[in-house]
Structure 1
Amino acid sequence: MSVRRIGLVVGALAAVLALVPQAQAANWLEKNFWMSGPRYSGNLPACDSGWALGTIQLRFSGKEHAFWNSRLGIVKFDDIHETANRPWASDTIPRRFCTARALISDGIWRPVHYLIGEDFGLIGATWDVEWCVVGLDRNWASNPGCRMMRP
């Protein structure tokens, strides 16, 4: 009886798959309608922007507390400078790469590499910042040595 049911199920699946239309390439209207390409302004906040540095401070302390049960935080930034601005092809998402030194609450100055990207924010509506503190990238998201946050 179970062999017969398996045969019916396989037969039903075959019938359903036979009715599914074959995939076809998009026609000219589908390819060109509302697909005008990226329109990036390239207007990104500066590396020393209070918004960017504040975001890094807030997210660093939040990550340390939530994931590593640590009370570490960034006390202040120093030696802030841009390392690259839109280093790749002009059609790629605009990114400003920055480096700074951060005084961590444990008293150690550590390098911080970060990038500010256009359309990186919520649903691509605004800028956002991605960052890495050298020596405190505990989940190795930007390893080795925060290399993924540099151009």
Structure 2
Amino acid sequence: MSARHSPLLACVLAVTALAVQPAFAADLATPAPLPGMAAAKAPVPACDDSAVQSAVARSIARAIPSYYDGVTVQGASHILETGVVVGPENPYAKRYCSAQLALSSGMVNPAYYVIAQNYGFVGVSWNVETCMTGKDKWFVYGANCSTVMMPPSQ
């Protein structure tokens, strides 16, 4: 790399570091317990955490537009934890959740999602995988969203 490219590279790295740092700081925050019940001890946020709900909406929005018929998520209700996988036999904690998603089409659709530890950018933080029942045309998440519905049997 030539000397004239060094300042440009330094500037790009500095901007990237500033843009990424707040997102990771929010992702690593201690999750709040679910309303009315104690959340299972897992190093991932609760199902109803606002950052998780934003990630659910983003996961639907980033799909090929024709896959979900171009709908976007407007909100979520009836958010429930359906299971947790955490412990020495599992290297990564996962929290399984369900919700009713209000869509831009005016419809409400059931959805399931899993919040997985260390599945975020370069293995840092957490990630969300979302499946809307009846809308998974290619069965990416198994029949009727089975792979994100509940934890696998031990």
Distance in 1 separating the partners of 2:109 and 2:95: 20
Q: Is the 8 A contact 2:42 2:95 kept in 1?
A: no
Higher strand share: 2
Q: Is the 8 A contact 2:84 2:95 kept in 1?
A: yes
Alignment correspondent of 2:78: 79
Structure 1: 4+ residue segments shifted above 6 A: none
Q: Is 2:139 aligned against 1:140?
A: yes
Q: Is the 8 A contact 2:117 2:126 kept in 1?
A: yes
1:2-151 correspondence runs (5 A): 42-65=42-65, 68=67, 70-86=69-85, 90-92=88-90, 93-150=92-149, 151=151
Structure-2 change in CA distance of 1:125 and 1:103 (3 Å): same
What is the aligned length? Answer: 109
Whichever of the two has the greater Rg, that structure is 1
Following TM superposition, by how much is the alpha carbon of 1:64 offset from its aligned partner in structure 2, in angstroms?
A: 4.1
Secondary structure of 1:72's counterpart equals: coil
Q: Is the 8 A contact 2:81 2:98 kept in 1?
A: yes
Q: Percentage identity across aligned positions?
A: 23
Secondary structure of 1:94's counterpart equals: strand
Following TM superposition, by how much is the alpha carbon of 1:104 offset from its aligned partner in structure 2, in angstroms?
A: 1.6
Distance in 2 separating the partners of 1:45 and 1:56: 13
What is the root-mean-square deviation in Å for CA atoms of aligned residues?
2.0
TM-score (norm. length: structure 1): 0.65
Distance in 2 separating the partners of 1:146 and 1:117: 16
Distance in 2 separating the partners of 1:73 and 1:121: 22
Q: Is the 8 A contact 1:117 1:127 kept in 2?
A: yes
Secondary structure of 1:86's counterpart equals: strand
Q: Deviation digits for residues 26-73 of structure 1, max 9, x if unmatched?
A: xxxxxxxxxxxxxxx9321010011111111122122142x5484311
TM-score (norm. length: structure 2): 0.64
